[in-house]
Amino acid sequence: MKVSLRSLVLTAATAGTLLASTGLVLAADPITERMHGFKGSKHAMAAIRDAMASGHQAAITAPAKEIAAFAARIPSLFPAGSTNDQSKARDAIWDNFPDFTAKAKTMQTSAQALADLSASGKATPAQIKSAFVKVTESCKACHQHYKEKE
């Protein structure tokens, strides 16, 4: 498999940005940690969109894996009643924690599927787009029920 220097640079830059912003940096509390993680996921989604637009399939893998790793941690970042004025978490999270956890698992699974697909190097742009749509849908499904409106 031939990898261009541009793809390597994009992947390295994305990974560095994600490490700094996804909550891999220790946070003082779960609210701060999850806020960093969600912000990192937002940056990862943008990196994936950019990679898709430029046709650099290899640059999709790292941010998709970061989203999957963060999604796996989401339930642990929402201990009962962990909210404050900055948090946009609705009480519905704790009222229906099994559903919230299932939605986080769906996000994890769809992001990992996108990472695996892009890493294969054999996916068509349409397959990548379809997998990406599943990730975005998993985000929206949770936001609709569990995040306060902006």
More confident residue, 24 or 105: 105
C-alpha distances (whole Å) from 94 to each of 75, 88, 101 are 10, 13, 10
pLDDT at res. 69: 98
Q: What is the pLDDT of residue 81?
A: 83
| Six token digits for residue 107 | 């996000």
| Sequence ranges of the domains in the chain | 5-78+88-146
Kindly report the average pLDDT of the chain as a whole number. 87
Q: What are 73-84's pLDDT values in tens digits?
A: 999 999 998 989
Coil, helix or strand at residue 147: strand
What is the per-residue pLDDT across 89-122, written as a single tens digit (0 to 9) for each?
A: 999 999 999 999 999 999 999 999 999 999 999 9
Question: What's the longest Cα–Cα distance across the chain?
Answer: 50
pLDDT at residue 86 in the model: 87
Q: Is the pTM of this model over 0.85?
A: no
User: CA 52 to CA 61: how far, in whole Å?
Assistant: 11
The structure tokens 């769906």 sit at 106
Fold classification of 5-78+88-146 is Four Helix Bundle (Hemerythrin (Met), subunit A) (1.20.120)
State the Cα–Cα distance between residues 63 and 40, nearest whole angstrom. Answer: 9
> From CA 32, how far away is CA 73, in angstroms rounded?
14
